[in-house]
Amino acid sequence: MELKVAGMSLTDNKLNNDSLQAVDPEIYSSITDEQKRQQDNLIMIASENLVSKAVIEAQGSVLTNKYAEGYAGARYYGGCYFVDQVESLACSRAREVFMAEHANVQPHSGTSANMAVFLAMLQPGDRILGMDLSHGGHLTHGSKVNISGRYYQSFSYRVDPDTCMLDLEAVRHTAREIEPKLIIAGASSYPRLIDFEGFAVIAREIGAILLVDMAHTAGLVACGLHPNPVACADIVTATTHKTFRGPRGGMIFCRQKHARAIDQAVFPGLQGGPLMHIIAAKAVAFKEAQLPGYRTYQENVLENASVLAEALSGLGFTLVTGGTDTHLVLVDLRNKNISGMEAEKVLEDVGIVTNKNVIPYDPRGANNPSGIRLGTPTLTSRGMAPAQLREIAVLIEETITCRHNSRHLDKIRQRVRNLCLHYPAY
């Protein structure tokens, strides 16, 4: 008798009809729908991007079958010859792109990368100092609902109440008072350059370790458009999937003297087998970051964000910090009489996908915040340019102003569709 599971014959261990569509039509159809959603909408989530087909191919490869606990040349499994090549290439390319002495490309995510740094450098109960979550920081920088705020004593610095900019003198003051073992610089919704060099000086003054988390801006750093923190920080973490435009994952850079501690913390400290298919896709993304078109792409990301900021300002929107030096714009909607949640919803309704976001000193609080965060990496990957970003700013303004006029919203939806048609995602 032949046993069959979802079209798979267990006796010959081969798929009779192994296309995803045949094996799992439900998942196939959700993926197809998601691909269509990405094509038919203007995705302005600042932390998202569109990876190349080459990255997707590496990610969807048979490398997913391989166990490779350990590091290249020192694995706990046989048969690692080819995955060793993959990880070695990924690491050497990563070191080259970010001019780092040491790179670890195994973290499954930005969060895992940060946890590994804490595990390597801290004892439970040690003090850490990071940017307040509601001022642009990240959950992993000491939020009380995250392990970083539960296993360590976490403190935060905030932005200036008038300018909403980081004020290094205020950071210095807090750092001297708290005397943390580790300071974190880096943010998720801060639209300005961060003076990593200034943070390094503060960390040195109080004998703290400096961790720079460049999750959002790694792509801008990779081609020299933003200053590289690898030179001045003790340790740098990043994601590979935001501006960097690689597969979903994390990475860590450090000086040679911390290399062993970091590697040990990632494995066996925190993770098991590395995701070799993702590491292959990371290697592809590192290679793409060294191609000539990459810098042009990142320049366009920045130009588009600055054009978007200018256009929105011109249309009466208040921008946190008044503008941007990055790929993202944080809009303070209070003068528009709409909450971030409502704005996110009505914009999505016309095909503009954003996220509600708290603004510094948000009077509404984190659950129903006053802002939305907009980013340009995905639109730029589709080839959109300043003219399109100006048009999108107008569409955003009309959507929010005319949100109760369903006929007007229909017209906006049509204009969004037209834009999407002209700039294919793939």
Ligand X SMILES: *Cc1c(COP(=O)(O)O)cnc(C)c1O
Residues identified as active-site: 67, 69, 213, 239, 242, 248
CB of 245 to ligand X, least distance (A): 14
Q: Comparing C-alpha atoms, which of 130, 83, 109, 122 is closest to residue 261?
A: 122
Read off φ and ψ for residue 269, nearest 5 degrees.
-60, -45
CB of 408 to ligand X, least distance (A): 35
CB of 229 to ligand X, least distance (A): 12
CB of 232 to ligand X, least distance (A): 18
Read off φ and ψ for residue 64, nearest 5 degrees.
-60, -20
Closest residue by beta carbon to ligand X: 110
Pick 114 or 339: Cβ nearer ligand X: 114
**Residue 59 to residue 182: CA distance in whole angstroms:** 34
Pick 114 or 370: Cβ nearer ligand X: 114
> What dihedral do alpha carbons 143, 149, 150, 151 form, nearest 10°?
150
**Residue 394 to residue 18: CA distance in whole angstroms:** 47
Pick 214 or 280: Cβ nearer ligand X: 214
Residues 6+ apart with CB under 8 A from 227: 193, 196, 197, 221
Q: Which residue has the tokens 């880096």?
A: 186
**Residue 322 to residue 313: CA distance in whole angstroms:** 8
CB of 274 to ligand X, least distance (A): 15
Pick 243 or 388: Cβ nearer ligand X: 243
**End-to-end alpha carbon distance in the chain:** 45
Q: Which residues bind ligand X (CB under 6 A)?
A: 47, 109-111, 114, 138, 140, 186-188, 213, 215-216, 239, 250
Pick 110 or 340: Cβ nearer ligand X: 110
28 and 20 Cβ atoms separated by less than 8 Å = yes
**Residue 221 to residue 302: CA distance in whole angstroms:** 12
